[in-house]
Amino acid sequence: MVTSAEIGVIGGSGFYSLLDDAQEIDLSTPYGPPSDVVTVGRIGSRSVAFIPRHGRDHRFPPHRIPYRANLWALRSLGVRQVLAPSAVGSLRAEVGPGAIVVPDQLVDRTSGRPQTYYDEGGAVHVSFADPYCPSGRAVAVESARAAGWNTVDGGTLVVIEGPRFSTRAESRWFAGNGWTIVGMTGFPEAVLARELALCYTSLSLVTDLDAGVETGEGVTHDEVLEFFARNVTRMRTLVAEAVEALPSERACPCGAALDGIKLPFELP
């Protein structure tokens, strides 16, 4: 029976069948309950904890997801590396639906989301110049290419507040800045992972061309869900392969993110 995990996956409900020997763990955190019970099990020799980002019934819209509770729950189970598959829109015509983007940069265009664990007890400033784990990114790119995905190594993910999609003007502005993809959930997940000294890697599946790139009436919610559903089995396989390929010992800078910083409380 697995009651702890070394790797975390935050994704959609289609990832439940990812794990062998799975069991559910109901956790509480100082930030409330996570999106749902955490499922812990194995992929090959690796112990993995899975959280459905929006809840198994998709009850949490992007701006209401309990991001702090989700990352805290994973760390409390022993997780130190996190893979985060998600659906995104493309801001570049040449990066069409079906591509996997493994971003190396992030732009926050959200508002009002709690985005730190350190909002009292003294200032804690963590480096966030490079938001994603370099080791996790390398594994994700190699795994995606080996599986035959059209893979984009690097690029900027701009995260919008949601739940609405972008206007055409916003989308063109994002593209004009040289950004690559747009989503609604990659922030504050990434910075909260950094504040807990976790490795965090985004696996972004392009489901559509964003409003400023696409002609016609623009993307709809149903179209995004339908495209992701058609690809979820393949995405699940990719995540499993990436999990098994992640290093067993971390040599990246992520684990040292809090070195030399006086924390106002003890981490799990």
CATH classification at residue 226: 3.40.50.1580
Q: Does residue 261 lie within any of the structural domains?
A: no
How many other C-beta atoms lie within 10 A of the C-beta of residue 227? 18
Number of structural domains the chain divides into? 1
Q: Does residue 31 lie within any of the structural domains?
A: yes
Q: Pairing state of beta strands 46-52 and 81-90?
A: unpaired
Q: Does residue 235 lie within any of the structural domains?
A: yes
Question: What integer pLDDT is reported at residue 13 of this predicted model?
Answer: 64
Question: What integer pLDDT is reported at residue 216 of this predicted model?
Answer: 53
Question: The domain containing residue 242 runs over which residues?
Answer: 7-256
Q: Does residue 267 lie within any of the structural domains?
A: no
Report the alpha-carbon distance of residue 119 to residue 126 in Å, rounded.
Answer: 13
Q: Does residue 262 lie within any of the structural domains?
A: no
Q: Does residue 199 lie within any of the structural domains?
A: yes
Catalytic residue status for 57: no
**Measured in whole angstroms, how far is the alpha carbon of residue 109 from the centre of its chain?**
16
Query: For 50, what's the count of Cα atoms within 13 Å in the CB-facing half-sphere?
Result: 28
Question: What integer pLDDT is reported at residue 252 of this predicted model?
Answer: 97
Output 109-113 pairs: Cβ under 8 A, ≥24 positions apart. 109/158, 109/159, 109/160, 109/161, 110/63, 110/159, 110/160, 110/161, 110/187, 110/188, 111/161, 112/63, 112/161, 113/63, 113/67, 113/161, 113/187, 113/188
Catalytic residue status for 208: yes
Question: What integer pLDDT is reported at residue 218 of this predicted model?
Answer: 59
Q: Does residue 154 lie within any of the structural domains?
A: yes
Mean pLDDT by 10 residues, the chain (268 residues): 87 76 93 96 95 93 97 98 95 94 98 95 94 98 97 98 94 97 97 98 93 65 70 90 97 97 94
Active-site annotation holder among 26, 210, 222, 259: 210
Q: Does residue 52 lie within any of the structural domains?
A: yes
Question: What integer pLDDT is reported at residue 134 of this predicted model?
Answer: 98
**Measured in whole angstroms, how far is the alpha carbon of residue 39 from the centre of its chain?**
17
Active-site annotation holder among 108, 119, 208, 222: 208
